[in-house]
Amino acid sequence: MATIRQIAALAGVSAATVSRVLNHDDTISVTNETKKKIFETAELLSYQKPAKAKKSVESTTKSPSICIGLIHWFDELQELNDPYFISIRMGIEEECNNQGIMLQKFFNTDISPSALSQYTFDGLIILGKFTKEHLKLIEPYSSTIVLIHSLPENTNYDCVHADFTKITTDILNHIISKGHTKIGFIGGREILSDHTTPLVDERETTFKNYLQLNDLYNENYVRIGQFNFQEGYALMKDLLKQNENNLPTCIFAASDTLAIGALRAITEAGLSIPNDIALIGCNDIPTSQYTFPQLSTVKIYTELMGQTGVKLLMDQINTKRTVPLEVTVPHKIILRQSC
């Protein structure tokens, strides 16, 4: 685990600034560029790279003539509010750098026919959940495509994703094994690339189905909003207020950003974590190590998602493979102080 001072030194800011940004202090006055640098530095220092000492033949082989595009469903500000996607993007960037691949990045606000037509792409990585209509608009710029964080039905594309159904089941098994029966949920809804179509999250549906099967589901303990810190804070405050005489003993938050907001609301209410309410998040973003108490969570190997996306794309380019592959990245429960 990197220290606050190490992050500050590499990012070129004070330790106090790093601490406040990582803890989503909305009273701090810094630019989005500074926030981005801090989050990226924290992500970089959190990487585990045991194999870095010995360079493989593959990692030193350059492909300077290859150009791929990264199409992101978020704009830069949205990405800042969800470091899960920063980590995936950095994995893509690192693998492209290792292989000598030219990478052109397009955030949601940059995507247009005039912007895309400036390049000749050997392949495209689509990060996020795009509608079928949007994918058809992107296809003319390259038929070699990999989807990351998306698993549409009847797709002809390679896909890299996390199994949030299995993740949620594993979390709930752990929570129940600790004797908790009053279990709450703070979740979010993602929006398709058309900016209008909400998607019910796998973590939300699995939470409900699993607890109903075990006769433990209580809808009064469930709050759904958007995947950011502010929503986590507001949703948790409302949950505490509406259930002040019958509080849950454990909360599963569908992302670490939601969990960190919930943590602040619980602490402000004068409650102890985990003694009064235990809390566990999901994603293991770097910030989760710097909260007080430190946040228990689930590690999703997001950097690996990005790297795998590039490798799948290069496999298609080099072998002319047309059979789509689906890769599910592993996960691991990380128990710290909050649960």
pLDDT of residue 64: 55
Single pTM value for the model: 0.84
End-to-end CA distance of the chain: 19
| The two structure tokens encoding residue 83 | 């470091």
Q: What's the CA angle centered on 334, arms 18 and 173, to 5 degrees?
A: 140
Residue 6: pLDDT over 70: yes
Q: How far is CA 212 from CA 144, 188, 208, 222, 282, in A?
A: 42, 20, 6, 13, 21
Q: How far is CA 91 from CA 20, 44, 80, 304, 308, in A?
A: 25, 10, 16, 6, 9
State the average pLDDT over residues 201-222.
97
pLDDT of residue 222: 98
Q: Nearest Cα to 39, choosing from 66, 79, 74?
A: 79
Position 245: which residue type?
Answer: N
CA–CA gap between residue 78 and residue 74 (Å, rounded): 6
pLDDT of residue 47: 52
Contact, 40 vs 86, CB < 8 A? yes
CA–CA gap between residue 33 and residue 109 (Å, rounded): 17
Q: What pLDDT digit, counting tens, does each position of 48-99 carry? A: 443 333 333 344 445 458 999 999 988 887 887 788 898 999 999 999 999 9
Please report the beta strands in 221-272, taking only residues with DSSP state E, as ranges in sequence order. 222-225, 250-253
Range with the poorest average pLDDT among 28-32, 117-121, 166-170, 196-200: 196-200
pLDDT of residue 53: 32
Q: Identify the three-state secondary structure at position 80.
A: helix
Q: Which domains does the chain have, with CATH numbers?
A: 1-42 (no CATH), 164-300 (3.40.50.2300)
